Chain A
Amino acid sequence: AQSVTQLDSQVPVFEEAPVELRCNYSSSVSVYLFWYVQYPNQGLQLLLKYLSGSTLVKGINGFEAEFNKSQTSFHLRKPSVHISDTAEYFCAFEGGGKLIFGQGTELSVKP
């Protein structure tokens, strides 16, 4: 069965520290992978996407993610976080025309 697992439900970090949000997927076919961000009381916004090509993908707000096929992972990273990055982050992959989401990781950036 196709699935997405986000390994951390909550990640607290201090401002200007680096952060990594982990995502693993399970699929027997080629996948398109996405990270979305959800700010409080808002819908989801696309951060970045991997469709093909370079395994290192850069997105908005200084985030990047690396597709690792052998480890079936698509971890999200940022070298220095800001208070404004506090939000919930969702990993997703497109399988059979539908997006399958992970459970979400709540990133909390503290001063």
Chain B
Amino acid sequence: NAGVTQTPKFQVLKTGQSMTLQCAQDMNHNSMYWYRQDPGMGLRLIYYSASEGTTDKGEVPNGYNVSRLNKREFSLRLESAAPSQTSVYFCASSETIGQPQHFGDGTRLSIL
């Protein structure tokens, strides 16, 4: 039972490089989310997709873009990485908006 799968698990980038974080879920969930986790700040929502074909900004969207490729997949792109984007990124999904979310194991991203 895979649940939510994130790739890669670790990545190191140089400032200015671009990168796409991949996320896929096999639970037939409608809603998907991207968060970043920083020490002492909990999780902050970057973008979410309430259903296939829609995306909306969360609390901290600047510097990121997302694509809901299909019902299963929701990718997060950093067009020009900055050191402030060093963080652990989590993807999550839920049956619909407002329902409990299931999380992937995270992508640890360092930007030098």
Task: Tell me which residues across on chain B come within 8 A of A94, comparing CB atoms.
Answer: 98
Q: Are B103 and A43 in contact (CB under 8 A)?
A: yes
Q: Are A9 and B45 in contact (CB under 8 A)?
A: no
**CB-CB contacts of A33-53 with B at 8 A, as 1s and 0s?**
010100001111110010000
Q: Are A97 and B42 in contact (CB under 8 A)?
A: no
Asked if A101 lies at the interface with its beta carbon under 8 angstroms from chain B, I say yes
Asked if B41 lies at the interface with its beta carbon under 8 angstroms from chain A, I say yes
Q: With A43-B90, A43-B104, A45-B103 as given contacts, are A99 and B42 in contact (CB-CB < 8 Å)? A: no
Cα of A107 to Cα of B98 in the assembled complex, Å:
27
Cα of A104 to Cα of B37 in the assembled complex, Å:
11
Task: Tell me which residues across on chain A come within 8 A of B26, comparing CB atoms.
Answer: none
Q: Are B42 and A101 in contact (CB under 8 A)?
A: yes
Within 8 Å by CB of B4, from A43, A97, A99, lies A43
- Count, chain A residues at interface, CB 8 A: 21
Q: Spell out A's residues near B (CB within 8 Å).
A: 4, 9, 32, 34, 36, 41-46, 49, 90, 94, 97-99, 101-104
Task: Tell me which residues across on chain B come within 8 A of A46, comparing CB atoms.
Answer: 100-102
**CB-CB contacts of B76-112 with A at 8 A, as 1s and 0s?**
0000000000000010100001101111111000000
Cα of A102 to Cα of B98 in the assembled complex, Å:
17
Within 8 Å by CB of A34, from B40, B58, B100, lies B100
* CB-defined A-B contacts under 8 Å, sample of 12: A9-B40, A34-B100, A36-B103, A41-B105, A42-B105, A43-B4, A45-B103, A46-B102, A49-B100, A97-B98, A98-B97, A101-B42
Cα of A89 to Cα of B58 in the assembled complex, Å:
22
Excluding A34-B100, A104-B42, 13 further A-B contacts by CB distance (< 8 Å) are A41-B105, A43-B90, A43-B103, A43-B104, A44-B43, A97-B98, A98-B48, A98-B97, A99-B45, A99-B101, A101-B44, A103-B41, A103-B42
